[in-house]
Chains A and B, each alone.
Chain A
Amino acid sequence: MSFFPPDGLVAIVKRGCPTCELVVPALRELAVQPMPLTVYVQDDPAFPVGLTAVSDTTLEASYRLNIEIVPTLLRVVNGQETARVEGWNKDNWRRLTQVADLGEALPDHRPGCGSKSVEPGMPEKLAVRFGDATIASRRVEVPPLLDDIEFCYEQGWSDGLPVVPPTEERVFRMLQATPRDPQEVLGLVPPNKVPLTVEKVAINAVLAGCKPEYLPVVLTAVTAALRDEFCMHGILATTYFSSPVVIVNGPVAQQIGMNSGVNVLGQGNRANATIGRALQLVIRNVGGGRPGEIDRAVLGTPGKYTFCFAEDEAGSPWESLAVSRGVEPGQSAVTLFAGDGVYAVVDQLSRTPESLARSFAATLKTVAHEKLALASEVLLVVSPEHGRVFHAAGWSRQRLLAELHQRLLRPGSELVRGANGIAEGMPEQFGGETAVSKFPPNGIHIVHAGGPAGMFSAVIGGWVATGSKGTQAVTQVVV
């Protein structure tokens, strides 16, 4: 911060700007006035002809002086800017310079051009170069001749897909999307219980391919994952499939262009893809949770690359998932669920909610194993064409949940180990029970999403360690 502009008049110009060419005669007039004139040129120090100009090809002066338009004319007294004019405006230039007949031959007014210091990507580069970026992470040099992305692979920073190399500029730009201090600690990230800073999240969000405007959602998802009741350590280490499924509610989903419609659980949307991936990369890179090491999944699931989507709230027959979990309507929130794969429920014939609920229950009872009860929570993604059946019949979320829980009661005799010739099943003490619930009381989560056509819904099973012994879904408000 050792830059002070010289006293007197300061002009910032570039040769590539026609308005700057236009004002050259006025600058020549100013050069012979008693008040000293300093001309900074952003692109070509030989310009303007006939004047001694200071090269600002590094753009440091332009950056320090917050120049957005060229030409800009400043008046500086004791190192402090006291007046500024952007573009050419005869009256304003005359007032600022106190030269009454300045630029007599010039038109009255001509708008300026964009400063090179505000070209796309340049503010971040300049902030990094001139020391305003307060990034604490270790700098790593990519060896000459080595491709940046290949280098990231070699460092072990990738989930298998290419990552966006986290340059200082990109990370700085990412951090601009949050007012939070880069060094603020969000919590301890498993499995290595490492303090997680906002900055480390931003770096991994860059790796994942996030746009800066996704960062608040990423920070919220990460914060939710660190909550004790979610049990991220166990989810990571388990031999089971599970991995965080990120569900985004509220206005932020639309603001950042998330998909809640066609192919909602599939590929193709940058926000969906990269927010879920950023969470995974934080666990991998900061937490040290890598497959084959602490991550012991026997099979895993494609959702361990990324699994993130938005709820279709506008078309939903119900209040949103977040609102049903206590979030104020109109607030944005992220819900995390430890899920495995996507399981199809086909029902192209049911026109009554009773019939459709039975179809849902028929699939829900098979989660993990038809003979296992109270083992996990479950996420039910109801599509629009299924949702409208409940809407038409006036079934609330609670009504559907009550029906599903009722339909999923099974006599213990059918579930115990050995029943139906299957060794797997519930311990013997369940044998005498007449009605065993499939899921814990608040263990069925319903979300409305998907394209307009297709009478299919989806079941996403949860980790088979639930409640206080494992994971519970968590909802975190986006701040």
Chain B
Amino acid sequence: MGVPGLFVASTAFIDGAAAQSAALGFEPEAVFVPHPIQDRTDDEIRAIADGVVAQILAKLTTTVA
């Protein structure tokens, strides 16, 4: 059950994601963006999103977008 998915986190959470994946027995697709996030301007956040769109689409589908 469920739908295929992907999560986006900052690079500070690569270890945490690995630990959680190991505990759950499930390794979801992940895209990591540069840390930090909290103190970014809106434009900086948008630029981060622009930078990973292609990667997200590629990981969500079997064909490269």
Contacts and interface: CB of A to CB of B under 8 A. Distances in A.
- A, B assembled together: yes
Interface of A: 191-192, 237, 288, 290, 292-294, 296, 423
Interface string B13-48: 101101110011000000000000001000000000
A90 B20 CA distance: 72
B23 A292 contact: no
A192 B16 CA distance: 13
A293 B16 CA distance: 5
Nearest to A296: B16
A344 to B, nearest CB: 29
Contacts of B18: 293
Size range of the interface on B?
10 to 19
B15 A192 contact: no
B40 to A, nearest CB: 12
A293 B13 CA distance: 9
B60 to A, nearest CB: 26
Nearest to B39: A423
B20 A292 contact: no
Nearest to B19: A293
A192 B24 CA distance: 7
Dominant secondary structure of chain B at its interface with chain A: helix
Contacts, number: 23
19 contacts: A191-B20, A191-B23, A192-B24, A237-B16, A288-B19, A290-B19, A292-B19, A293-B15, A293-B16, A293-B18, A293-B19, A293-B20, A294-B16, A294-B19, A294-B23, A296-B12, A296-B13, A296-B16, A423-B39
Question: Closest 10 A-B residue pairs measured CB to CB?
Answer: A293-B19, A192-B23, A288-B23, A296-B16, A294-B19, A294-B20, A294-B16, A292-B15, A293-B16, A293-B15
Nearest to B22: A293
Contacts of B20: 191, 293-294
Contacts of A293: 15-16, 18-20
Contacts of A296: 12-13, 16
Dominant secondary structure of chain A at its interface with chain B: loop
B18 to A, nearest CB: 8
Nearest to B24: A192
Given A292-B15, A296-B12, A296-B16, 11 more contacts: A192-B23, A192-B24, A288-B19, A288-B23, A292-B19, A293-B16, A293-B18, A294-B16, A294-B19, A294-B23, A296-B13
A290 B15 CA distance: 11
A288 B12 CA distance: 20
Contacts of A237: 16
Nearest to B23: A192
A296 B39 CA distance: 19
Contacts of B13: 296
Contacts of B23: 191-192, 288, 294
Contacts of A292: 15, 19
A292 B18 CA distance: 11
A294 B15 CA distance: 8
Contacts of B15: 292-293
B20 to A, nearest CB: 6
A236 to B, nearest CB: 11
A296 B9 CA distance: 13
A290 B19 CA distance: 9
Nearest to A192: B23
B15 to A, nearest CB: 6
A64 B24 CA distance: 46
A467 B62 CA distance: 43
- Max chain B CB contacts within 10 Å: which of A192, A237, A293, A296? A293
A237 B19 CA distance: 11
B17 to A, nearest CB: 10
A288 B31 CA distance: 24
Contacts of A288: 19, 23
- Max chain A CB contacts within 10 Å: which of B13, B15, B16, B18? B16
A192 B19 CA distance: 10
Nearest to A292: B15
A296 B12 CA distance: 9
A432 B45 CA distance: 28
A191 B18 CA distance: 14
A296 B24 CA distance: 17
Nearest to A423: B39
Nearest to A298: B12
